[in-house]
Amino acid sequence: MSRRIASALVAVTAALAGVAAFASPAAAAPADKPAVLSGWTQTSAASQNAWVAARQNQSGWSAYGFDWSTDYCSSSPDNPLGFPFQTSCARHDFGYRNYKAAGSFAANKSRIDSAFYSDLKRVCAGYSGVKRTTCDATAWTYYQAVDKLGSSPAADGSAAVSGVRG
């Protein structure tokens, strides 16, 4: 009888090991993943700086299973009129992709878009005069595109709309 129990335990253990091997990386992610994601997608400069530091050390965050991929500003210029928007677009992509993967995109889209606009305005703050005015207007245009079109099919990557895929 004990041989049957031992055989059954071995079979159950093997089956569980097989299931664990196919478990999604998100299932193994640390419990604070939602808090970390939220912290990196706020409107503040501190949030942006923390995300930039983490992006530079992605291997240190590998257990979290974040999607760091980006197409930057999609089919819109990454540096329109010479304004360096590329990093802002990358952080916006990070927010869109990771909240979609978490199944909570709709609840966080507005904040991600607002963080994007805040990032762009910080870029523009480095300019003055007409150049600042031009940068601010360009930032507003980019923000309006993601705000209005960022939940379109293009945001899910199923169609190309300038500058709004996440």
In a domain, residue 161? The reply is: no
20: in domain: no
135/77 Cα distance (integer angstroms): 13
Task: Examine residue 78 and state whether it is found in any structural domain, yes or no.
Answer: yes
**pLDDT (tens digit per residue) in 95-147:** 999 999 999 999 999 999 999 999 999 999 999 999 999 999 999 999 999 99
State the chain's mean pLDDT as an integer.
Answer: 83
- Asked, for residue 92, whether it belongs to a domain, the answer is yes
Residue 11 domain-assigned (yes or no): no
- In order of 27, 51, 88, 148, 161, the CA distances from 74 in angstroms are 30, 20, 12, 15, 8
Count of the separate structural domains present in the chain: 1
Q: pLDDT band at residue 19, thresholds of 50, 70 and 90?
A: very low
**pLDDT digits over 36-53, tens only?**
999 999 999 999 999 999
Is residue 166 one of the residues assigned to a domain?
A: no
Residue-level pLDDT at 165 = 46
Q: Residue 54 domain-assigned?
A: yes
* Domain hosting residue 150, numbered range: 29-156
* Residue 85 identity (one-letter amino acid): F
Assigned domain for 18 exists: no
Catalytic residue among 92, 97, 100, 109: 92
143 among known catalytic residues: no
Q: What is the CATH number of the domain that holds 64?
A: 1.20.90.10
Question: Distances in Å between the alpha carbon of 154 and those of 144, 162, 163, 165?
Answer: 15, 9, 9, 5
User: Can you tell me whether residue 23 is helix, strand or coil?
Assistant: coil
Structure pTM? 0.77
Q: In this structure, what DSSP letter does residue 104 have?
A: -
